[in-house]
Structure 1
């Protein structure tokens, strides 16, 4: 008598206690399940110890800027974005936004005059909002942005993540609503009775609710991703129903041969052992996620381990306890009579087909798998962005506008953090930042860059231009008045000289005649003035007056206009010393736009250089640009770190498909092999299981490439293709499906081994195994396909892909591999399948 048999006896004796404990667990789960979504984080994939993550921490520490970035897109069908009405409407909206708690900065066309904030067709503009506040701030932004004059969309990475989380929660509710009734119908058909069909459903629901309770508990001290809820729902319902299906089916068999206590004990002793090893295989696959250094994957691994443990526990305790209470009443409300022993089942006939021509069957399945595997050669992976959301989502609609009508790369640049060993605004540091920028511009794939140097240089050049323009205007105004002033002063000299000459002559007349004859003064003046004027002109008096006037005007202009800082020329020649000197001027300190720019491009003792890629920031070309930037030789004494969205994508993808994936594969394959070897006491059967499961998994991956990368069936499934498969989907599918598909391997081999141990030949044992378990495998697979396939109608692209990938892999594993390929392989191997515990019979 084994340990599982004794567990069955123990559960039967304390069946009411066991049911009572599960009722308590169910109550707690019902209470906390609605609150779990609030405690889960978004679906962002980050690598905490990567170079890009370090850059992100530096960026988040700049000035007063918040860590969340939103983009508000403004659109009008009637007005131009440059029109006065559009500008007033946008300004009113942004004033409301600036007043919101949590908003630390707003930048747009109105505050900068930068044409990049306007669309190519002139009908749209956007503004960047920085702040912190999560979902609450997003809601306030959307309310503040609502306008009757302009159509607005609040998007950006922070908004996309919030919308992803909401869509994920809605997808779970929709999937559960769709899947549970269908699963119940499948169970009723499988068991032919309502009572028997209800028990697996109860186990599945209890498993999900218990898991949600544990997730709620874990989330209090460890950050859990929103994807945990999808995995918990998929596996909790799918595995819970599958395991309970196996248990109930075996209990009804045993009940036909004995009493309820004996049936419960024998059921747990046989089916319970199978479930334990099957659960171990699933758990091993999910535990492989712990090898990845990503919180999102590790949290999914934690959730998966919790749901598997809960599901196995429910199948080994709750289901037997309820069956012990029901006894013969489990067959109540039957819709059909149990089928007799005569005739072969459809699953036996399919298996017999495979065994009749085993070589042809193996070859045919190999060709089919080869056709499905072929697209994998062109597999391209990427990470989720706004296009993972439905087109109706506000953040997706806004992002689509930004992609189509603006320079999208400006919003998601490659960010370089440059450390020069000192204040980034000193002349020496600015020279080094300039040199880094020159090297960066030479890298293929770089379309432009912005830095404290380029911003300061542009501002200094604009300042020099304004001063030069003011000088030109002052000189033009002075030139217009110079002739008038010169003429006036010359006339004064002529008048003064004429007066002296006239007075001298009049004095001579008085001395000679004692009086001045009438009219003499006028006559003398009329004769003297032309002579004086001519004499002064010939003496250069007018030229001297002009020189003095111009000298005085220049002095006054110099006194009124500021001096240009050293290193800044009126012709626009700017040196690093000139930029440093300009940034130290009062004009620079009073320039609000320049201060905002310095907050963007200066982070403590580090400078930020924004590199604009020439390609889509989510593309492989942008990631190759990141690699080229990291290979650049740094100037002596300068440290450069490369981050930003393209670098984050590069680091995450490199890690996902690097050493952690290799370790995960080795762990999952090795641990699964050892588990199956211990279960079946064979070294060959586990190898066959790994091969069969690997084929089904790879074939499902090929389907994902065809659908989500190539776009086949996209219209039917209502999805927009991104040109790649989300990088998380193959990994999650592998870790989840490998164990699940191994379930069917364990189910079938367990019954085949029972028949073999009872003395059946290899062919007879396969046929008996299929007859006993074929219906269960088919029903279990149909239920799991229903549960996971329901997520194909989710709003989020990754969840669609995960649901379709798991459903396809389960279908292939259950109906092609187990029903057709496995019997053919076992026919070819004969007794060798059980080596070394069995011996080859002639």
Structure 2
């Protein structure tokens, strides 16, 4: 790493120009090719997947997009002549529009059920051709909303008309500005505040363009870019900060700029590289789940982290070489030029706190453990699913249409269940009719209607409207009741096969699949963390404690999203709708991300302790000094991540806000309670056992040096005087 640092320092202008050229080259590629984001369906063997496949096989139109046009007339029935004439004209023009396959109007004999019983709400279904493009859909939207007036309110929803909230660039900028303010306030040096942000922005910008190009090769979700920015800005600023902080320490000690950069990269740079690789490994580990939407997000986030690490170990040394000693504040530069001695400085607050933890490890450890357990308890009631349009902002046309439908036809009408019925014989068709009659008497079913089957057709479609909303737990219970009891009873003695499908059932199946895999994935992540930390620190106890605490940290992240988004405390104030289930893929991604971030802090904290242990062989002193010298930078790094992650909560996207809340709370708690209280307290209680590793295992494990050449075992520690930690801890 020191050789890389010296090369980047000698060729600093060339390194900067290479990064700038890379940005422009990739940007030109995106300008020419664009992006091709899209959500891929899961390939899981579920009941809803079989229903979809059966319907697609029976009719090509089953897979086409469709949407609803919903309207209400204030103070009057939608069948009054003025409203009827305006909407009939609009629907006729929609039927003639390019890309439209059919329009079902409520003003026809066949569509009379599309008017609510009170006459206050009506809707029309627009079915599109399979090859319809976005421009044609947008044209239909314009035609549908043209008749709207102050009295005639029109809104759109359904798959074809779904409008996802766009990422809010102001939220990204707010996080960056807050990070700059935190760095400037703590370090009182403009370049210390600017360099980590410049490095992170370049890394995230390069990765965003790369991910856009990768979308032509891989199936990547349209939220991949926002998620990558969220993770990349947080880790990118932190990684650069750790290197800059070590560089400043060496400069204050009188080291020349080139040597200081080389030493910083050979110590903190190694830790950054190791931490970044663990995050990438954790993210790519999600590929083992074989879930399309998660695969894309994992690859996109891993690319982002990899490029931010690359920027931290190449671009940052070049920039440090360009600004020289100006990375120190003016007062620090005056001290350095005057050869002032800092040895008489009073211990800083982090050194004093480290001494407090050493003096009272049991009491402080128990308090921290109790707080963490309380914060993680809501995880026990975690419910996965998919939030419906009722959780969108009130100004959204999808939300308005959802509310109109719920008011006129009932909440379950927003997410009907679609039963695919395989009925090859006449007896099976009779069994289907009996099933429809039985469904109307099932608790939780508002109504069930079978579409007429044409002659020679063997696949029927039954629409079942629940009495509850698509995201309701009662709807999920109804799905399981139909599959476990009602449908098997109807199939008995026949060759009829019935599968429960539709968007609502598909979301429920997706949540069940991921929930079943979540415990195994957490266990795999914990074992992976144990192995990586064992190689890094040549210890068994530290990795074991780290693995357990990583799980506790993930529990805190889950607890935060359950309280805010499932219980609904504060979600409404943020404009993110009422309480509802947590998006199914969020916990899986949070596990991978929080594992990596927790490993980051563990590596930066314990590597400094390990370095001191290698010099002295005094475990208590090593833990205290390591905590004192990394406390400030870990706290600042956590504050920066909290600002960056927290800013994404205000972006208007519920899924991204779930990531923002969970990661912001978990990072703050992980840094301040786990790394600054619980880890050092446990290590003080364990003493020299922290560093024990069987000799046979030590020889078998590969040698991974996190803190450079000095990071070796303390076979013969030399006695040293108590170090002065004030210069780096306060």
Taking the aligned partners of 2:225 and 2:90, their CA distance within structure 1 comes to 37
Aligned to 1:156: 158
* 1:136 partnered with 2:135: yes
Show CA shifts across 1:600-622 (max 9, x none): xx9x6422222333433333332
Match runs of 1:394-433 below 5 Å = 394-421=397-424, 427=426, 430-433=429-432
Which of the numbers 308, 318, 321 marks the counterpart of 1:321? 318
Instruction: Give the match's secondary structure for 1:94.
Output: helix
Which of the numbers 260, 265, 269 marks the counterpart of 1:268? 265
Match runs of 1:428-577 below 5 Å = 430-437=429-436, 440=439, 444-452=443-451, 455=452
Question: How far apart are residue 301 of structure 1 and its match?
Answer: 0.5
Question: How far apart are residue 358 of structure 1 and its match?
Answer: 1.2
Question: How far apart are residue 332 of structure 1 and its match?
Answer: 6.7
Question: How far apart are residue 286 of structure 1 and its match?
Answer: 1.5
Show CA shifts across 1:156-206 (max 9, x none): 13323xx21xx242x2x1222211222122222333211232211111011
* 1:806 partnered with 2:663: yes
Question: How far apart are residue 308 of structure 1 and its match?
Answer: 1.4
Question: How far apart are residue 364 of structure 1 and its match?
Answer: 0.9
Question: How far apart are residue 387 of structure 1 and its match?
Answer: 3.0
Instruction: Give the match's secondary structure for 1:743.
Output: helix
Q: Is the 8 A contact 2:392 2:576 kept in 1?
A: no
Taking the aligned partners of 2:414 and 2:326, their CA distance within structure 1 comes to 66
Taking the aligned partners of 1:839 and 1:662, their CA distance within structure 2 comes to 40
* 1:195 partnered with 2:48: no
Which of the numbers 5, 29, 42 marks the counterpart of 1:8? 5
C-alpha spacing 1:275/1:823, structure 2 compared with 1 (3 Å) = same
Aligned to 1:648: 506
Aligned to 1:110: 107
Question: How far apart are residue 644 of structure 1 and its match?
Answer: 1.3
Aligned to 2:80: 83
Question: How far apart are residue 435 of structure 1 and its match?
Answer: 4.5
* 1:230 partnered with 2:207: no
Instruction: Give the match's secondary structure for 2:430.
Output: helix
Question: How far apart are residue 231 of structure 1 and its match?
Answer: 1.8
C-alpha spacing 1:722/1:156, structure 2 compared with 1 (3 Å) = farther
Which of the numbers 5, 11, 24 marks the counterpart of 1:27? 24
Aligned to 2:651: 794
Aligned to 1:463: none
Instruction: Give the match's secondary structure for 1:618.
Output: coil
Which of the numbers 343, 348, 363 marks the counterpart of 1:345? 348
* 1:248 partnered with 2:244: yes
* 1:391 partnered with 2:386: no
Question: How far apart are residue 131 of structure 1 and its match?
Answer: 1.0
Match runs of 1:329-340 below 5 Å = 329-331=326-328, 340=342
C-alpha spacing 1:389/1:93, structure 2 compared with 1 (3 Å) = same
Q: Return the TM-score normalized by structure 2.
A: 0.86
Q: Is the 8 A contact 2:191 2:327 kept in 1?
A: yes
Taking the aligned partners of 1:192 and 1:32, their CA distance within structure 2 comes to 40
Taking the aligned partners of 1:265 and 1:195, their CA distance within structure 2 comes to 19
C-alpha spacing 1:333/1:139, structure 2 compared with 1 (3 Å) = farther
Which of the numbers 611, 636, 639 marks the counterpart of 2:494? 636
Instruction: Give the match's secondary structure for 2:578.
Output: coil
Taking the aligned partners of 1:385 and 1:755, their CA distance within structure 2 comes to 54
Instruction: Give the match's secondary structure for 1:247.
Output: helix
Aligned to 1:564: none
Match runs of 1:294-309 below 5 Å = 294-309=291-306
| Structure label with greater radius of gyration | 1
Question: How far apart are residue 299 of structure 1 and its match?
Answer: 0.6
Taking the aligned partners of 1:656 and 1:287, their CA distance within structure 2 comes to 16
Taking the aligned partners of 1:677 and 1:636, their CA distance within structure 2 comes to 59
Taking the aligned partners of 2:148 and 2:505, their CA distance within structure 1 comes to 39
* 1:721 partnered with 2:721: no
Q: Is the 8 A contact 1:117 1:127 kept in 2?
A: yes
Question: How far apart are residue 337 of structure 1 and its match?
Answer: 7.0
* 1:124 partnered with 2:121: yes
Aligned to 1:212: 208
Aligned to 1:281: 278
How many residue pairs get aligned? The number is 680
Taking the aligned partners of 1:112 and 1:354, their CA distance within structure 2 comes to 78
Question: How far apart are residue 302 of structure 1 and its match?
Answer: 0.3
Instruction: Give the match's secondary structure for 1:158.
Output: coil
Instruction: Give the match's secondary structure for 1:803.
Output: helix
Aligned to 1:374: 377
Instruction: Give the match's secondary structure for 1:147.
Output: coil
Q: Is the 8 A contact 1:168 1:226 kept in 2?
A: no
* 1:612 partnered with 2:465: yes
- The answer to which of 316-325 and 403-412 deviates more is 403-412
Question: How far apart are residue 674 of structure 1 and its match?
Answer: 1.0
Aligned to 2:706: none
Q: Is the 8 A contact 2:387 2:582 kept in 1?
A: no
Instruction: Give the match's secondary structure for 2:645.
Output: helix
Question: How far apart are residue 333 of structure 1 and its match?
Answer: 6.5
Instruction: Give the match's secondary structure for 2:160.
Output: helix
Taking the aligned partners of 1:78 and 1:38, their CA distance within structure 2 comes to 46
Taking the aligned partners of 2:195 and 2:523, their CA distance within structure 1 comes to 37
Which of the numbers 774, 785, 793 marks the counterpart of 2:642? 785
Instruction: Give the match's secondary structure for 2:181.
Output: helix
Q: Normalized per residue, which structure has more helix? A: 1
Q: Is the 8 A contact 2:420 2:461 kept in 1?
A: yes
Q: Is the 8 A contact 1:831 1:840 kept in 2?
A: no
Structure 1 stretches lacking a partner, 5+ long:
457-582, 585-601
C-alpha spacing 1:729/1:36, structure 2 compared with 1 (3 Å) = farther
Q: Is the 8 A contact 2:445 2:467 kept in 1?
A: yes
Aligned to 2:698: none
Taking the aligned partners of 1:411 and 1:174, their CA distance within structure 2 comes to 32
Q: Is the 8 A contact 2:572 2:578 kept in 1?
A: no
Question: How far apart are residue 98 of structure 1 and its match?
Answer: 1.0
Show CA shifts across 1:415-439 (max 9, x none): 22222347xxxx5663353355456
* 1:686 partnered with 2:543: yes
C-alpha spacing 1:212/1:719, structure 2 compared with 1 (3 Å) = closer
Q: Return the TM-score normalized by structure 1.
A: 0.75
- The answer to which of 442-451 and 183-192 deviates more is 442-451
* 1:829 partnered with 2:686: yes
C-alpha spacing 1:254/1:296, structure 2 compared with 1 (3 Å) = same
* 1:700 partnered with 2:557: yes
Show CA shifts across 1:683-708 (max 9, x none): 11111212222223212322222222
Instruction: Give the match's secondary structure for 1:39.
Output: coil
C-alpha spacing 1:336/1:129, structure 2 compared with 1 (3 Å) = farther
Taking the aligned partners of 1:805 and 1:431, their CA distance within structure 2 comes to 51
Aligned to 1:462: none
Q: Is the 8 A contact 2:29 2:213 kept in 1?
A: no
Show CA shifts across 1:398-430 (max 9, x none): 1122123213434532222222347xxxx5663
* 1:186 partnered with 2:182: yes
Aligned to 1:657: 515
C-alpha spacing 1:278/1:262, structure 2 compared with 1 (3 Å) = same
Structure 2 stretches lacking a partner, 5+ long:
336-340, 694-712, 718-730
